[in-house]
Amino acid sequence: MAVPAIRVTAVTKRYGDLLALAGVDLEIGQGEFFGLLGPNGAGKTTLISALAGLIRADGGTLEIMGHDVVSASRDARLKLGVVPQELVFDPFFTVREMLTFQSGYFGIRGNGDWIDEILHGLGLSSRANANMRALSGGMKRRVLVAQALAHRPPVIVLDEPTAGVDVELRQNLWQFVKKLNTDGHTVVLTTHYLEEAEALCGRIAMMKAGRIVALDTTANLLSRFTARAFRVRAGHPAAALGLGGAAAGNDWVEFGFDAPADIESLLARLREAGADVREIAVGGPDLEQVFVEVMRHA
């Protein structure tokens, strides 16, 4: 049986009176695209910092591909690439030089072909010989992703990678990251753009106050906490309301439904009742609604 890409067991971390991690247990399988969500101060970055060996947990164990981040720190670090929230870069070197040096930190020589592939995949080829100071904020964030990938780690953690990135850059980034995941890399994503997590992640953990308060597949979370909604704008909304709909303002009436086939029978009933349907809209489950609901009850 393959070892998990990440295994976190009973991990705690305290800063004075603040309990940043309160006994976190988490296991992420190899090849997963995993989402780690939570409000500011939930403990996400603290957990990532502990995985990366930037801080030491007070209790518990953390492993990357079976390597303990404390007792086998070198092996664990080689298996992990982290893209931090902050824009941290050396202003004296070009993009290619930065990636070459990053490879060297891990003892990797002759890494030019992989660096070229990263530059191409992230749309940085035209800026490969540009000084870091000359790049826009979005381009600098791409370079952070490239740095995390320079030593070709099997596990990649993206901590708010698209913060401040425009739509075109964001799409380009996700296209490349999805390819990495398809090729077998494990990807862990933290983001406040919940639509990204919903579209990309197969499983999601939600954190609050240093604890994991929800953990399931994205599909199960969506089905557990939210319902599908079918809305109609009717010339005679009273007729639609008489069929069990709920008023949604401006002559719109909303119905819940379980399967798409339910919509056909509902439309037939609306026509029979003389509701005079003028517009329809179908809304699926929304991860933002799930997130708000989980945080409210956690």
Q: How far is CA 66 from the centre of its chain?
A: 23
Q: Cα–Cα distance between 263 and 285 in angstroms, integer?
A: 16
Among 211, 208, 193, 291, residue whose Cα is nearest residue 42: 208
Q: For position 289, what pLDDT does the model report?
A: 81
- Tell me the pLDDT tens digit for each residue of 162-180: 876 778 778 888 898 999 9
Question: Residue range 126-143: average pLDDT?
Answer: 86
Q: Cα–Cα distance between 273 and 236 in angstroms, integer?
A: 9
Delineate the domains of the chain, giving CATH numbers in brackets: 226-284 (3.30.70)
- Tell me the pLDDT tens digit for each residue of 226-270: 567 788 888 777 777 778 777 877 778 888 777 778 888 888 888
Q: For position 283, what pLDDT does the model report?
A: 72
β-bridge pairing 203-208 and 33-37 = parallel
Under a CB-based contact definition with an 8 Å cutoff, are residues 37 and 73 in contact?
A: no
Which range among 20-24, 86-90, 158-162, 221-225 has the greatest average pLDDT?
A: 20-24
- Is the model's pTM score more than 0.75? yes
